[in-house]
Amino acid sequence: MPTDTPPNPETSPERSSGELIRFEQVTKRFGENTVLDHLDFSVDAGKHVTLIGPSGSGKTTILRLLMTLLKPDEGTITVDGKKLFPASEKERREARKQIGMVFQQFNLFPNMSVLRNITEAPVTVLGMSKDEAVERAKGLLDMVGLADKCDARPSQLSGGQQQRVAIARALAMRPKVLLLDEVTSALDPELVAGVLDLLRDIARTTDITMLCVTHEMNFARDISDQVLMFDAGRVIETGPPEQIFNEPENDRTREFLSAIL
């Protein structure tokens, strides 16, 4: 499982056959503040990668760049060989089809029923027939344990239920990559386990690639093939979770982990 070579900013990383996501020399600044500094890294298809690090270290920025919610100042980002940056709007739309995202605040559409939240994009973006989209949405709702909530409005659901709908909505687009941005941080503590269990199931039973920013270190340990430790816009340590969590080599990693564990 954890066979990836650590990304090395000094040499151009070799393109492995299963490589799905690739950041090359990506720089992102917010004003004077450089959040990502000539970052190189890649993720192989089917891997579950967790990004950890202190806040402001650039983890969430990476997810937001991949989702094209932000634009890099420099560098290239590719997904499944398709350019995300730099690219035309049309190329970007095409490449973006491979990617789904689950947000900290769920971001369900409050003006739509739960079912329509899930069918909207498959029908309008993928051109799926309404019947097929509804059938698949019901299957997904069943999987996330909310088969009886089809007609509910998001506001009638608990935070944990909303987040499970948001996961179903992202999966309905059949993305190759699922981005998880602190998906349990906005939840009441008693609701966290249900969402994490669902994600563990998805990680175990599908071949979807996951990129995950989380403060749930036990969850990270469970599902990750690889952990990337970020500090000041760079990957300072990478490895399988056992190694990062049990025998971190970098002092900053040790400090960070002892502060949060």
Partner 1 sequence: MKWDWNAVSDFMPHFWDGLLVTLQILVLGSLVSFALGLVWALLMRVPSRFVTWPVGVVTEFVRNTPLLVQLFFLFYVLPEWNITFSALTTGVVAIGLHYSTYTMQVYRAGIEGVPVGQWEAATALNLPLKRTWTAVILPQAIRRVVPALGNYVISMLKDTPLLMAITVLEMLGEARLFSQQNFQFTEPLTVIGVAFIVISYLASLALRALERRLAH
Residue 105 or 243: the one with the smaller Cβ distance to partner 1 is 105
Question: Which lies closer to partner 1 via its Cβ, residue 127 or residue 189?
Answer: 127
The span from the CA of 205 to the CA of 165, in Å, is 18
To partner 1, the closest distance from the beta carbon of 57 in angstroms equals 21
* Contacting partner 1 within 17-56 (CB under 8 A): none
| Contact (CB, 8 A) for 52 and 220 | yes
Which amino acid type is present at position 149?
K
Q: Does 59 bind partner 1 (CB under 8 A)?
A: no
Helix (H, G, I), strand (E, B) or coil at 182: coil
Diameter of the chain measured on Cα atoms: 55
Cβ contact 55:213 at 8 Å: no
Question: Looking at beta carbons only, is 101 or 203 nearer to partner 1?
Answer: 101
**Sign of the CA dihedral 7, 12, 18, 21?**
positive
Interacting residue with partner 1 among 2, 38, 67, 232 (CB under 8 A): 67
CB of 172 to partner 1, least distance (A): 9
Chain length of the chain:
261
Beta-bridge partner residues of 52: 229
Nearer to partner 1, 92 or 234 (CB): 92
Least gap, CB of 152 to partner 1 (angstroms): 11
Check residue 88 for interaction with partner 1 (CB under 8 A): no
> What residues are paired with 210 via a beta bridge?
48, 178
Q: Segment 121-140, which members bind partner 1 (CB under 8 A)?
A: 121, 124-125
Structure-block tokens of residue 74: 């420099």
List contacts with partner 1 (CB under 8 A). Answer: 67-69, 93, 96-97, 99-101, 103, 105, 107-112, 120-121, 124-125, 153, 155, 169-170, 173
